[in-house]
Structure 1
C-alpha cells in the first residue's frame, strides 16, 4: 500500500469531507497530504472546530481489511471507475469493489422494486434480468424481493450489486450466499468501509450509486414512498431514463409504478422495451467531468464575501448556480466558502448541485 493511497483515504474518511469537497481539496492543494495539512485552517475560516483527521494507522487497517476480502479501493480519478457514475456531481470519491470490475464499464440498466413484492412481480423481474443480461449489465441493491430476483436472473450474464453497508456485511442475512456468488461471478460494490452495518441513512447513498451506474432505471413494483422511487427520482435528476412496469390499481405495491408512468416514465413490458430506451447512451463515449474546483483560479474569500454567501443560505437546499447569480462573486470564491463551511460542519450538500445550512 502506497503513502499516496493512505493519505487519500485519510482525507476521504475525515468527518466533513464529502465526495465534492474531497475532489475540490485535491484540485486546490494538489495532493491529499497537503490538503490534510490545510484542513484545520479551512474549518476555522468556516466558523467551526478543526475536524478529527483519520490517522495513518486507521487508514492502513482499512486498506489491509479490504485486501484480505479480495477487494480493492477504486478512486474516482483512476482507470476503471464507472464513467456514467462519474458524471454525478456527488459521485463517490472512492468505491470498494470485489469481482469483475470490467462490468462497471458496460452499458447498464438498474432494476429495482418492492421488498415485499408479489410472486408475479418477482418472476417478471427475474425474467427481465435474464433477458437484459445478454445485452447490458443489470444493477440492483441486493434487497429482498425485486432486487434479489433481478440479480438471480442476470447472474450468468452480468450483474452488479450495490450494497449499503461494508463489502463484508450481508444484508439481508439470507442473501449472504447470493452476495458471495455475485462477488465471484459479477461485481459487488460498496461505498462504506468494511464492517459497516447498514443503517437507514446509508440507503439513499446506495441508491444514488445504483441510479448513477445505469443508463436507465426500471421500477417493477413499488409503494408511493418507497426507496425504489427515490432511486427513480435520482435517475431522473441525473438525466437518465426512468421506466416502470404497470400494475393493478387495486394492488398498493403497484401504485408507485403507476404514478411514475402518469408523471412521464416510460411504460415497459419486455426487455426489448428497455433496450430501446437506453441504446443511445454508450458509456464508453462518456468522459469523466473535470474536478469541480478550478485549481488555477483559487481565491480566498474576505469576511464580507463570506458573510454574503452565508446570508444567502438557509435550511432549504439552494442551487450553487443561484448562489453565484445572487452573490455576484466569482465561482472560485463561492466554492471556497462552501468548502470551508462543509469542513466546519455547517453545510450539507444535496443531489443536483444544491446546498443548505445545517
Structure 2
C-alpha cells in the first residue's frame, strides 16, 4: 500500500556482466531533482532546514514525554515511539540526498541502496503500526473508560510497541532479502532522490513475480490491515461520541483524539497522494513532489500538531522550559504561552 509502494529512489551506475544481458549492480545513480546548480543550492538549504526542524521537533517531543511524569501514559508512550520512528524515517533518505546535492554526486552503492530500502520500509511500516496502536488506545479510552487502566496496562503497551518493531523489521527484511536474487539491466537510473523498492524492481531483468508477491503480502499485513484497524476504531469512537447527550461531553471526548486524527489524516493523505500520483501520471516531477510531502513534510509537521493542539503537551513544554530557562519573577507561565 502506501508505505511499501512510495515512488522515491533512483539508481544507476557501474555494473558487471553475469550472463547475456543480465547484470549485477554495484552502484546506482540517484537522479534527484535538478541538475542546475542554482536550484541545487536552494534545494539544499530548504531540505536541510526541514530536516533539522524534523529532528529537533521530534527529539523535543521525546524529551518532554520522558521528563514529565504526567505524560507517562499509554498515548504518550506510543507518541514517543512515533517521534523516534519519524526521526529515523526521514534520516533514511534526507542525509544521503543532502550529501549528493552538496557533492554534485548521484552515486549510491548497491549495498547502500538495499540499506535504504530496508530502513525506509521498517520505519514506514512502524509508523503504520504505531498509529494503529494509538487509535486502539483512543478507542479504549472513549468507548471503555472504566476498563482503560486495566486494558492499557504497561505490559500490554510494551508488547504492542515491541510487536510493532518486530513485525516491521521482519516484513522489511523479507522484502529486502528477495532483492538479492535479482539481476539488473544496463539502464540503472531511477528518477527519484532515494532507492524506492518499486523503482528498483522496474530495473530488474530477472523475474520479479516472487518479489511482487512478497510486497503485496507485506503491504496487506503491515499497511492495509492497520489502516482498516484505524478506521474501525474511529467508527466505534464516533458512534460512542454521538451517544453522549451533552455538547460539552462530546467536545471533550473528541478533543482527546483530535491530535491523533490530524496526524493520521496527514500521514495517510500524503501517502495516498504519492500512490495516486505515481499511478495516474508518468511524470517523475509530480511523483517527486508528492514523495517529498510524504517522507519529509509529514514527519516535520507531526510535532507541531501534537504540541499546538494538545493542552497536556503545551503544559509539559512550559514546565520543561521553566526548568531549563530560569524565569524572572515578574514573568508568569501564562505570558509565555
- TM-score normalised by the chain length of structure 2: 0.25
> Which one has the largest radius of gyration?
2
Higher RCO structure (Cα 8 Å, ≥6 apart): 2
Decide which structure has greater strand share: 1
Decide which structure has greater helix share: 2
